Amino acid sequence: MSADDRRDPHTLSTGGGSGDDGDAESGTGDETDDGEPTHHAFWADAVADAVAARDPDDPVVIKGGVSPSGVAHLGNFNEIIRGYFVAEVLRERGHEVRQVFTSDDKDPLRKVPRKLADPDGNIVGLGEVDAGALGRNLGKPYTDIPDPFGEKESYAAHFASLLKADADRLGVPVEMVSNTDLYADGTFEPVVRKALERVDDAREVLGQYQDKVDETYVPFNPVCAECGKVTETVTAVDLEAGTVEYECTGMEAGGNEIEGCGHAGTATFREGKLPWRFEWPGQWGVLGVDFEPFGKDHAEGSWPSGVDIAENVLDVEPPVPMVYEWFTLNGEALSSSAGNIVTVPEILDLLEPEVLRYFFALDPKKARDLNLERLDQLVDRFDRFERAYFGEVDDEELTRFAERAYPFVVEEVREERVRLPYTFAAVLGMVEDPDFREQLARDEGHFDDDTPDWAVADALKRVEKARAWAERMDNEYNYRLQTELPAAEFDADVAAALDDLADFVAAGNDGEAIQGEMYETARRHDIEVSDFFAAGYRLFFDETQGPRLGEFLGELETDFVVDRLRREA
RNA sequence: GGGCCGGUAGCUCAGUUAGGGAGAGCGUCCGGCUUUUAACCGGACGGUCGGGGGUUCGAAUCCCUCCCGGCCCGCCA
């Protein structure tokens, strides 16, 4: 691989070579980094190869990063979970791996977010909090702004704790790192010093990417000692003293002009921040980053400039890069202001964490749509992927991928695990009684006497997810067994047929018999079978359609069914 | 306008790295489960592999070109 290839964030080669090594447990750190590329069914292996080729010191460091915003949403986890898979592959190969996620929390708040997530991750409007406190703090670092919910020490800490909580929910061990801390504890000080020492190089390099860089540009933004805002006018640098002189001139950000206070003062190298274009490669250096995935928005501008600055200003070796495509939600771009957003807790109400991890285990280069309406398709694909791991799917390609990726997707590989098909789980969600749900699943052959209790319990958990999905989408599975008699009128024929059926049920016949009897009864009363079923669905679901009715009724309490068929309760 | 990434069946996608049979699941349709009513089983239908051109005995795959979509190309991150 040439140096150019290594610098190309799109080169996510899945190798070339033999095609199967038969042995998934290949190696404890001494794997084939002999330059001979091997074919990989799982992209994370190809990335791990590239990382290993750098001969990194342990711990290998994998990083992601985010700028604090109002809401931590699923989009932020693209980066975290992609990094996680590479981390896991490297751990399997015997490396110690540290996965960090930096919060760019020394950045100034540029505009007040329209939506915020409360400490539980629920999205709330600005009206729920002291919006004025946010507005008064425009221009200050996120770490200097109070938590709008009054719990954490700052806005930044609030946001970071949300991300951390979501990562925990997904079982991704990630270490949150605060940029502000890196400045405060002196970690960044040598980087600031170097950028200022080599200010001419800094200007020349960054000038190739940003027009505003001129001969007065200084790659350091002090925090004003008077008003606390991040400023951009440095008037002098004293390398010996380790300070800069500045004027608080205010700044323009996103069309907003943030007023400076005019204060002129002195700041140390810890009392300010590097512009992000320097800060990013600076992080690579001080954290020793070996691999970093990033969204496609960074592929063309940020990444090349970061490499350039790392190599030609800061003397830092850039990490192995990887561009990932964005995913859309219900066909539209993620946007918290437009409300097209889903949070981790929200999605975990609808499916298991392993399904979500599976989604992010798929090829990062492909843009995908997370369609909540069709979530059953995603879950079905996961189930198939899981079966492929256990050799139960006749699909060579899928099986090769599953054999490699599946163990990283699930918390624990357990062959006896049972998955109820998602839409079937949604059908079970039409009733509330857990025993009834289990009985229906048993009748359908999903469990047998050998199914361990834990597997039954786990499988039934999906019913709650599918139920939440049916309710949230209000789709064709959103029926609920009616505990009260729905208001309905029936023809005399239909009424008589219902009475007949009630007698049949009262006689103690089972579900299968009831199903058969429904046809007989309808025929006997000379009514359309469809009309008769419709009457049944009306009585039990207050709907015109539903699940296979006879077998369903067979599982319910006999008295309840009889009374309902007689329209008595 | 330039650059990068993507475009395969109605839907969701695999296959493109290394040229050789166009595939899967779901949906649809038909049939089966004594008996149209969404859970189970079988079968069928379904694609100019975005269009065109080229290389090749042979192209979804390589090359050129065009179309469409996303991103980047002032600042910020």
User: For the residues A504-518, what does the mean pLDDT come to?
Assistant: 86
Nucleotide lying nearest to A367, CA to C1' measure: B6
A273-293: b (≥16 Cβ within 10 Å) or e: bbbbbbbbbbbbbbbbbbbbb
Most confident of A399-403, A430-434, A554-558: A399-403
For chain A, how many helices (H) and strands (E)?
A: 22, 16
Given a contact cutoff of 8 angstroms between Cβ atoms, the answer to whether A33 and A49 are in contact is yes
The pTM score is: 0.90
Query: What span, in angstroms and rounded, lies between the C-alpha atoms of A23 and A48?
Result: 17
Per-residue pLDDT tens digits for A125-170 = 888 888 888 889 999 999 999 999 999 999 999 999 999 999 999 9
Per-residue pLDDT tens digits for A44-72 = 999 999 999 999 998 999 999 999 988 88
Name the residue among A404, A406, A410, A389 with its Cα closest to residue A19: A404
Mean pLDDT of chain A: 88
User: For the residues A261-282, what does the mean pLDDT come to?
Assistant: 96
Q: Name the token pair of A373.
A: 């309406």
φ/ψ (deg, to 5) at A116: -135, 160
Per-residue pLDDT tens digits for A415-467 = 889 999 898 898 888 888 888 888 888 877 888 888 899 999 999 999 999 99
A185 touches strand B (CB under 7 A): no
User: For the residues A77-87, what does the mean pLDDT come to?
Assistant: 95
| pLDDT value, residue A482 | 86
| Range from A7-11, A139-143, A384-388 carrying the lowest mean pLDDT | A7-11
Name the residue among A66, A96, A62 with its Cα closest to residue A82: A62
Query: What span, in angstroms and rounded, lies between the C-alpha atoms of A522 and A539?
Result: 16
| Burial bucket for residue A560 (CB in 10 Å: 0-12, 13-18, 19+) | middle
**Torsion angle of C-alpha atoms A275, A157, A318, A405, degrees rounded to 10:** -150
Count the neighbouring beta carbons within 10 Å of the beta carbon of residue A58: 12
ipTM, two decimals: 0.91
Counting residues of chain A whose pLDDT is more than 70, the rounded percentage is: 93
| pLDDT value, residue A29 | 32
- pLDDT band (50, 70, 90) for residue A32: very low
Per-residue pLDDT tens digits for A462-503 = 999 999 998 998 887 888 888 888 888 888 889 999 999 999
| pLDDT value, residue A543 | 80
Provide Rg for chain A, Cα atoms.
Answer: 30
> Residues 367-426, chain A: which have Cβ under 7 A from strand B?
367-369, 371, 374, 377-378, 380-381, 384, 395, 397-398, 401, 421, 423-424
Give the C-alpha distances (Å, rounded to integers) separating A421 from A313, A408, A431, A446, A465. 56, 22, 16, 9, 12
A10 touches strand B (CB under 7 A): yes
Query: What span, in angstroms and rounded, lies between the C-alpha atoms of A404 and A253?
Result: 46
φ/ψ (deg, to 5) at A293: -85, 150
- pLDDT band (50, 70, 90) for residue A528: confident
Say how far A382 CA is from B2 C1', in Å.
41
Protein footprint on strand B: which nucleotides are under 7 Å from a CB?
2-7, 11-15, 17-18, 24-26, 34-40, 69-77
Q: Which residues contact A52 (CB under 8 A, 6 or more apart)?
A: A31, A33, A90, A93, A95
A293 touches strand B (CB under 7 A): no
